[in-house]
Amino acid sequence: MTAFLVVLVIILFGITVLQLGKILNMSKSAEKLGEGSEVASNKDNNVNGWLMLGFAIFTYLLLIVCFYKWWDVLLPQAASEHGSTIDTLMFVSMSLIFVVGFFTLWLLSYFAFKYRGNSTNRALFFADNDKLEFIWTIIPVIVLAGLIIYGLFTWTDIMNVDTEDDPMVVELYAYQFDWRARYSGKDNTLGDANVRLIEGVNQLGVDASDPNAQDDVVVNELHLPVGRKILFKIRSQDVLHSAYMPHFRAQMNCVPGMITQFAFTPTITTEEMRMDDEVVAKVRKINTLRREKSKDLAAKGEEALEPYEFDYLLLCNKICGSNHYNMQMKIVVESQEDYDAWLATQPNIATALKK
């Protein structure tokens, strides 16, 4: 790969030098323009005109292929209360970009083709047109302002945490290359933590002398009760990470030295999501691919792949190092009873640190 890149750079550098030489030559013989081979002939103009048209058609075909082949890799329905507002915002923005892009591509290419150079035609000298400029300035201004205001309202709506909702406080702790979650216990208050206190089993540097810390529970699998608002307090041990929970349409940077936050209410349990038609189709597709891959592996005498089962995930969405791709934690959304039962089996910090 490296050798290929080196060769590519050398070739590109060679082309650059050649092109520079050409430009230099052209500037020298400027007075001879009109008779030299540097002036585009009708044939050159035709070729370039058709190429412009061809480019537009190629792009449209590519678009159709992409939509047809990969439409089903999009995320399934949002599993959080605010999720649908993000989806609507995304849909409105993308549709607008799509429509504008679709028509401007055609206009650009078609006009470049229609008015391609022709030695018998003279270009019309057209200085300016105030009315036209006003129209193509004011329309984007109104549309963009509308989009931005709409986006801002959606953003504040999602980011303003109403404490009257009594959210459950959970810490997400990122480090190279894994996650830990810390429940705040009965008092719903996380104990203080400091990177200097990290030692042995105290992976998160929790201050064991803080009364609030005693009932905190540190886990490596995140369980959430459905329908309860969760307020995530997010920390990072080392570098910038990003807590990304795509199914809940949630993402927030994890910044060393500060606590960031994001709140959402999960609305669909893991079990319910596994029965969602779209998710069922996705899982089936993934397992078909895995079965085919397993055949190849078996032929090589290697172990076959396990069938995939849908789970919510917390992923890292910042390229934070060599194992970034594998930095994930399973999220289980379940009923309040199941959640309570699970939490009861987890040791709190006071017990865990005594060991």
Instruction: Give me the residues that bind Cu ion (CB under 5 A), please.
Output: 241, 316, 320, 327
Tokens of 344: 């009861």
Closer Cβ to Cu ion, 181 or 279, answer by number: 181
Distance CA 316, CA 175 (A): 10
Closer Cβ to Cu ion, 294 or 328, answer by number: 328
Closest CA to 310 of 243, 229, 247, 228: 247
Closest CA to 179 of 125, 237, 133: 237
> Least distance from C-beta 67 to Cu ion, angstroms?
32
> Least distance from C-beta 177 to Cu ion, angstroms?
6
Closer Cβ to Cu ion, 171 or 215, answer by number: 171
Closer Cβ to Cu ion, 224 or 314, answer by number: 314
What is the amino acid identity at position 205? G
Element (DSSP H or E) covering residue 261: strand 260-264
Distance CA 107, CA 113 (A): 10
Residue 198 vs residues 105, 239, 320, 346: alpha-carbon distances, Å: 56, 16, 21, 20
Contact criterion met (CB below 8 Å) for 242 and 316: yes
* Residue 302, helix vs strand vs coil: coil
> Least distance from C-beta 20 to Cu ion, angstroms?
43
Closer Cβ to Cu ion, 241 or 247, answer by number: 241
> Least distance from C-beta 277 to Cu ion, angstroms?
33
> Least distance from C-beta 256 to Cu ion, angstroms?
11
